Structure 1
Amino acid sequence: MQTHEIRKRFLDHFVNAGHTEVPSASVILDDPNLLFVNAGMVQFVPYFLGARTPPWDRAVSIQKCIRTPDIDEVGITTRHNTFFQMAGNFSFGDYFKKGAIEFAWSLLTNPVEQGGYGFDPEKLWATVYLDDDEAIGYWQEVAGLPLERIQRRGMADNYWSMGIPGPCGPSSEIYYDRGPDYGIEGGPEANEDRYIEIWNLVFMQNERGEGTSKENFEILGPLPRKNIDTGMGIERVACLLQGVDNVYETDLLRPAIDLMAARAPRGYGQGNHADDVRYRIIADHSRTAAIIIGDGISPGNEGRGYVLRRLLRRIIRAAKLLGIEDAFMADLMATVRDATGPSYPELVNDFDRISRIAVAEEAAFNRTLASGSRLFEDAARATKATGASRLSGSDAFTLHDTYGFPLELTLEMAAEADLGVDEEGFRALMAEQRQRAKADAAARKQAHTDLSAYRELVDAGPTEFTGFDELTTEARILGIFVDGKRVPVVSHAGREGVHERVELILDRSPFYAESGGQIADEGHISGTGSSEAAKAAVTDVQKIAKTLWAHRINVESGEFVEGDTVIAAVDPQWRRGATQGHSGTHMVHAALRQVLGPGAVQAGSLNRPGYLRFDFNFQGALSDEQRAQVEEVTNEAVQADFEVHTFHEKLEKAKAMGAMAMFGESYPDEVRVVEIGGPFSLELCGGTHVGRSAQIGPVTILGESSVGSGVRRVEAYVGLDSFRHLAKERALMAGLASSLKVPSDEVPARVATLVERLRAAEKELDRMRLATARAAAVNAAAGAEQIGGVRLVAQRMAGGISAGDLRSLVGDIRGKLGSDPAVVALIAEADDDAVPFVVSVNPAAQDRGLRANDLITVLGGAVNGRGGGKADLAQGSGRGAAGIDAALEALRAEIGRS
């Protein structure tokens, strides 16, 4: 049974049982605890927490999930993927344990011709939480499972929570027995390779408190309503129904393995376990990378972008270890598209962009590998020079951490150089890094924001937004909140100096709540009638549960009482600037696509009055000509005074019209479309806009830069802020022209000439400074001290000497000291207030136990610095110039003790 059929049968089974099909959310959600969506229930968390009332009692979904904590284990085990599809059915206060077990058992065991999967009931096992006798009873009653195929397990295995305060409860897992070829008997407790978990039924009935581990937390009490959350692993079920040994050989992943095996000198499944792991890494990671890119992420150096980059680089490294040297990423991404596209059509529709980003990362990493290889060669040469037979753990770690070399690649290169590797030292450094990462992640992890105080108002219905049609609205106060707690009244009296978060919830509001890159409106809310003395400044507006407008205010006078009628008024000047910025963003987006091509699509934005920032997908920096073109096309569209037309349309029809959607965003069935100039700009957008494009005013692009691999950013001023910026530029040019006594159009050439002269003068000054230092070095060698049989040159150099110059001088001096034991230490106060220092120890001094990397620490301690290096040469830098003389004395004392 093909994977797409497995998905369809799951959805049909539950839709026919009264469940509402809910589409998969993006793998990227606005959740402080998650880098990626990692479980099927994540998009339903607000319903489980009680922060929002679910619109249905029963739901079913197949959620895209990504888990990367154990990324280094991918391919080694037979059942773990970084990307997987979690099929789940959910009950919100409807059916509970018995219903969940009935639905799961019938789908798994019903014959194929009746819509089931046709699993043999005799091969299915269940696990339950230690004291969950109720679940055991249902497994016997509903499924007819004998007690010997039901096992009780502890909290670590069969009690679910999110790892933070929130809903929790016992779970029951379903396992399939693959037979004696896969391991010993005894059920899941004995062997989870033979008995493979395919479905987890969570009976969400309690609320947990803080805790220190998965098994150590307090149960605060029962949830208001009992819920069901289940998760069936599509990949694992496919593995079983397709009769393959592991999840990497199913119909969705095997094509990638076959593609690469056709290119590699060594095939898949030929008895080489290490090669098989590499093939599985390629198959797994390529699909995950395509999904992540498809949801709007580009490779970067932090967060989600870093995970994506790491996945792509592991693919490339694995391919090289298989002996594949030619570029392959474009074909690999096409294979992923063909295999996965029937379930995820967005991979087909957006394939050009996905492939382009992956191919660019392949090219970039190949260049990085070349640089890392040079570092390896230097480290190998230095290792052999010291007589050692193993590359240090520190060198291996630097290759891994800086250049992305996996240990196996370093081991292979070291073997070719007749060297070993200090694997223990490498793993110790890796463990330290992981520990730091875990500590950082733990520090950022937090409980979900408690929205239960707002629930009554959320359930009552959304705030009516009137701001498209008016800037002043009469409204009623539905609720008042101070630091998240509902209060009946809030007043100005006694609030001076108090930094509480005060929020007013109104039934209607003209204020735009921050979303879609547009920051919230500012303005005032004032009382009416007997409360007309009440006045508050609105500083921010945020959405609660995406439906309720929370107006954050500073109470300036009087008091606000729940139920009062008020006047909410947006600052018209603020709104004018905000609409200019937002409409300007659409214009710049359209201009970028016109100049750079359709691949230059939005990756993020921010706009506020007079300013816009726009991130877009594009490989490489824009040329001066391209940047000028974008600015010109934008302003031509402004001057054309296009009408700005907004209308509502069904999502699919809007997309078919060509309306641009933001990657990673989820949209309702009916969307708002903003059209500027007919085909010039057509986007899905809920923001506020000008009436005609000429109202945007001039658009001045300030700059263009990189914000990650394949993502560029332009910033611009619009309207009056643009005019002011241009006026400053004009005044600056006039001032330069006056100072240089040339016409304005000759200023660039004259400045270039002056800069070239300055550079030449600086080079000559550096040459003279170094020549003077070299002369001093000759004298220093002649006047070397003798300390305990070691010739020592420990000298403070004149200011302005760089670290590179110090290394050169150290070499000159050491060469003049002959073969007797000798140490050279130079330290200087550089022009930038840094204190560079270098130590060199010749072989004879090393034989006496002196090491440059030890002595460098002595120097650094006195000048508030640190450094490192090898036994023969080390360098460092500090910030305490006052300690230079003390540093040299400490060095003399250390050598004297040797």
Structure 2
Amino acid sequence: MDTAEIRRRFVAHFESHGHSPVPSASLLLDDPNLLFVNAGMVPFKPYFLGQETPPYLRATSVQKCVRTPDIEDVGKTTRHGTFFEMCGNFSFGDYFKEGAIELAWSLVTKPVADGGFGLEPERLYPSVYADDAEALEIWKSVTGLPDERILRLGKKENYWSMGVPGPGGPCSEILYDRGPAYGPDFDPAALGPDMPVELEDRLLEIWNLVFMQDELSAVRSKSDFDIAGSLPKKNIDTGMGLERVAFLLQGKDNMYEIDVMFPVIEKAMELTGRRYGASAEDDVRFRVVADHVRSSMMLIADGVTPGNEGRGYVLRRLLRRAVRSMRLLGYEDPALPELMPVSRDRMGETYGELLRDWARISTVAYAEEQAFRQTLRAGTTIFDQATSEVVRSGGTELPGAQAFALHDTYGFPIDLTLEMAAEHGLTVDEAGFRRLMDEQRQRAKQDAKAKKGQHRDARAYREIADAMGRAVEFTGYDTVVDEASVRGIVAAGGVVPSAGPGEEVEVVLDRTPFYAEGGGQLADQGFIELDNGTRLEVRDVQSPVSGLVVHRVMVLDGELTTGLSAQALVDVERRRSISRSHTATHMVHKAFREALGETATQAGSENSPGRFRFDFSATGAVPASVMADVEARVNDVVLEDLSVHAEVMSQREAVASGAMALFGEKYGDRVRVVSVGDWARELCGGTHAGSSGKLGVIKLLGESS
């Protein structure tokens, strides 16, 4: 059964049981804790955290994911890769343990002819959290399996949390016994609390069912946490690894041999003349190539470009490790133009954007390979100097600090350093190198741990939103003054009934002309006047949860209380100035794409009064001549005084009209398209000038990276 059919059957199964099919979200979501979407539940996290009300009680998705905790270990085992697809079904206060177990067991054991996966029940082993007697009894009832066939595992294996206070709960896994060729015999009743390492290949986890039922007040480690009580609503979050099920159903040994990955290895064999399966060392390199080529392609498709920090650095490492692995396999020519189209053809069957946007994706990838080839030349010079010093001093070992500097500063992979050192009759202080790498990782982990504390406590906002029963109506496209009523007040301690002079609080109105910061556009400012004479200065406007707009205000005089009628007055000059900047950003984006091609994609912006910053992807520095051409082009459009207008349409209609969407932005089924004449069209929720002629002269002050 090919991978596309497995994906189709999964969605069809849950759709037939009342689940809303949800397309995969971008790999890039606005989450301070994550570089990339790393699990199927991430796009649904606002629903699980109570920050937003889900538009459905049941949902199913096949979510593209990237995990990069230990890139150096990819390929050394066959269980994990950096990019994978997670099939999931989710219940938001609807069915719970029994429903989740029944739905999962039905799909995996149902005959292939009836739309299932046809896995043999006698080779399946459910696992439960050791203290979850309820799940144990449900598994026995649903499957008919005897007590001893159900594994009882501890917190480390079968209790889920986000690693921070919030929702958590026990989980159940479905494991598939691959037989004695993959591990020793075992006694199911004797397993636990941890799964023995020697059984990880034999007892393959294919599906994890998380029963979110607990509110965790403190999380110190995976097995050390405090349960404050039960969640008001019990939710279900499951994840089935698409690649793992694919290699089982395709009769392959591991995920690297399935239909969407092995063709890249076959192409690499053709290019290098080496054979997969002939050498354990070469096999690791082949697997690195297959994984990293696919992961890099998917990241570029979602808008990531190579860089020296964050997401860009991860992409750079993936691309360079793929190129370096081909070099270690004996292939010296540019490799990505040969390999990436193979991955595109396989993955493009599901992700059509790979085909539509191939010119940009390939340009970014191939330019990075060319840059790395130049880096290798520069790094080789530094390496030669370092080894010469070692030889002159009578040494035989390259210090770990120099190997680390080559890796960290020049992007020189350690195994390439090892290979080249061996050619010079030298060894490398690997222990010193690993120590420095570990120190760097620990710093990164500490930074990530610190960021985990930044989760916004949205309970106060959710309380107001639930009480309102509908979204705040934004009227700012049509007016800058509007009548409203005060529906909620939020202070540092949560929802409050009132606030007095000098206090800074957040105010929710039932309708507002104030634009909340978003899409690169700064928030409106202004005043709110209440019918009791109270005046509020609006200093910022945000949308902390979907459908809610909060005005951060200073109470100038009087008393602010809920229920009062209000008049909202936007600072008109500030709004007009920001709107002009936003329209200018669209025009500059279009002009850069005309000058540099489709790779010059917007990656961010800041639209401020009188000025704007435009972030875009490029494969190198922009020549001064191009900057001058772009500036001249947008000022010509200013002189043409083209009308700027907005239309609301479906996403499909917007794409068909040629409108550009920005990577990482979340769009609904209905989208707003802003057009500058018939020249520039973008999906955009911001405010704009009425025509290009109202912008005045646009001056590009500089460019940097």
Query: In which range does the TM-score fall when normalised by the shorter chain?
Result: over 0.9
Structure 1 residues 197-253: Cα deviation after superposition (integer angstroms, max 9, x where no partner): 000011110011223211111111100011111000001000111111111111111
Quick one: distance in 2 between partners of 1:30 and 1:274?
A: 39
Give the match's secondary structure for 2:355: helix
Equivalent residues in 2 for 1:327-338 (5 A)? 327-338=334-345
| 2:453 aligned to which of 443, 446, 458 | 446
The equivalent residue for 1:466 is 475
Question: Is the 8 Å Cα contact of residues 363 and 599 (structure 2) preserved in structure 1?
Answer: no
Aligned counterpart, 1:709 = none
Spell out, residue by residue over 1:271-319, the C-alpha distance to the aligned partner (whole angstroms, 9 max, x if none): x111100110111111111111111111111111111111111111111
Helix, strand or coil: the match of 2:541? strand
The alpha-carbon deviation at position 331 of structure 1 amounts to 2.5
Query: Out of 508, 511, 529, which is 1:526 matched to?
Result: 529
Match of 1:649? 649
Q: CA deviation digits over 1:174-200, x for unaligned, max 9? A: 110111111112257340111100000
Offset from partner CA, 1:444-474 (integer Å, 9 cap, x none) = 2226211111223323111111111111001
Matched residue, 1:269: 277
Residue 375 in 1 paired to residue 388 in 2?
no
Counterpart amino acid of 1:465?
F
For residues 255-654 of structure 1, what are the structure 2 equivalents within 5 Å? 255-270=263-278, 272-446=279-453, 448-459=455-466, 460-483=469-492, 485-492=494-501, 495=502, 500=504, 502-528=505-531, 531-532=532-533, 534-654=534-654
> What letter corresponds to residue 211 of structure 2 in structure 1?
F
Aligned runs of 1:72-221 on 2, under 5 Å?
72-186=72-186, 189-190=195-196, 191-221=199-229
Distance 1:425 1:622, change over 3 A: closer
TM alignment of 1:836-851, pairs within 5 A: none
- The 2-side partners of 1:196 and 1:421 are apart by 37
Amino acid at match of 1:559: E
Say how many residue pairs are matched.
695
Rounded to whole Å, the distance in 1 between the matches of 2:21 and 2:603 is 29
Q: 1:54: how far off? A: 1.6
Between the aligned partners of 2:590 and 2:92, the Cα distance in structure 1 is 44
Higher relative contact order, structure no. (Cα contacts within 8 Å, ≥ 6 residues apart): 2
Give, as a single letter, the amino acid of the residue that structure 2 aligns with 1:405.
F
Structure 1: how far apart are the matches of 2:75 and 2:490?
51
CA–CA distance in 1 between the matches of 2:123 and 2:598? 53
Cα displacement (A) at 1:484:
5.5
In the alignment, the residues of structure 2 paired with residue 372 and residue 566 of structure 1 have an alpha-carbon distance, to the nearest angstrom, of: 65
Contact 1:166 1:447 in 2 (8 A): no
Matching of residues 858-897 of structure 1 within 5 Å? none
Rounded to whole Å, the distance in 1 between the matches of 2:95 and 2:620 is: 55
Describe the SS at the equivalent of 2:543. Answer: strand
In the other structure, the counterpart of 1:693 is 692
Are 1:164 and 1:447, in contact at CA under 8 Å, matched by a contact in 2? Answer: no
Cα separation, 2, equivalents of 1:45 and 1:594: 38
Q: Is 2:30–2:664's contact at 8 Å kept on the other side of the alignment? A: no
Identity %: 55
Give 5+ residue unaligned stretches, structure 1.
707-898
Distance in 1, matches of 2:580 and 2:94, equals: 49
State the 1:404 CA deviation.
2.4
Q: Distance in 2 between matches of 1:649 and 1:431?
A: 51
Q: 1:394 to 1:593 in 2, by over 3 A?
A: closer
Distance in 2 (CA, whole Å) between partners of 1:594 and 1:172 is 53
CA positional deviation for 1:393: 1.9
Q: Is the 8 A contact 1:32 1:446 kept in 2?
A: no
1:222 to 213, 230, 246: 230
Query: Residues 269 and 276 of structure 2 are in contact (CA less than 8 Å); yes or no, is this contact kept in structure 1?
Result: yes
Cα shift at 1:618: 2.2
Amino acid at match of 1:155: K
3-state DSSP of counterpart to 2:252: coil
Q: Does the CA contact (< 8 Å) of 1:329 and 1:358 recur in 2?
A: yes
Output the CA distance in 2 between the equivalents of 1:52 and 1:441. 24
Q: Which residue of 2 aligns with 1:783?
A: none
TM superposition score normalised by structure 2: 0.97
DSSP 3-state at the match of 2:553: strand
Q: Summarize the alignment of residues 710-729 of structure 1 with structure 2, pairs less than 5 Å apart.
A: none
2:244 match = 236
For 2:330 and 2:201, how far apart are their aligned partners in 1? 31
Tell me the distance in 2 between the aligned counterparts of 1:406 and 1:638. Answer: 50
The match for 2:70 is 70
Partner of 1:889: none
Contact 1:125 1:177 in 2 (8 A): yes
In the alignment, the residues of structure 2 paired with residue 432 and residue 574 of structure 1 have an alpha-carbon distance, to the nearest angstrom, of 47
Judged with a 3 Å threshold, the aligned counterparts in structure 2 of structure 1 residues 489 and 664 are, in CA distance, closer, same or farther, namely: same
Corresponding position of 1:718: none
Distance 1:593 1:401 in 2: 33
Letter in 2 for 1:584: A
**Is the deviation greater in 616-625 or in 52-61?**
616-625
Deviations 1:557-602 (A, max 9, x none): 1121100001100111111101111111111112222222333221
CA RMSD, aligned part only? 1.3
The equivalent residue for 1:741 is: none
Between the aligned partners of 1:381 and 1:695, the Cα distance in structure 2 is: 65
When structure 1 is superposed on structure 2, of 428-437 and 342-351 the one drifting more is 428-437
**AA matched with 2:550:** A
Q: 3-state SS of the aligned residue for 1:705?
A: coil
Provide the rounded CA distance (Å) in 2 between the counterparts of 1:70 and 1:429: 15
1:262 aligns to what SS in structure 2? helix
- Distance in structure 2 (CA, Å) of the matches to 1:429 and 1:486: 48
The alignment partner of 1:687 has SS state of: coil
Name the stretch that deviates more: 602-611 or 103-112.
602-611
Answer with 1 or 2: which has the greater Rg: 1
For the residue of structure 2 that corresponds to 1:236, the secondary structure is helix
Asked if 2 retains the 8 angstrom alpha-carbon contact of 1:542 and 1:550, the reply is yes
Farther-moved stretch of structure 1 (447-456 vs 540-549): 447-456
SS at structure 2 position matched to 1:374: helix
What 5-or-longer segments of structure 2 have no aligned partner? none
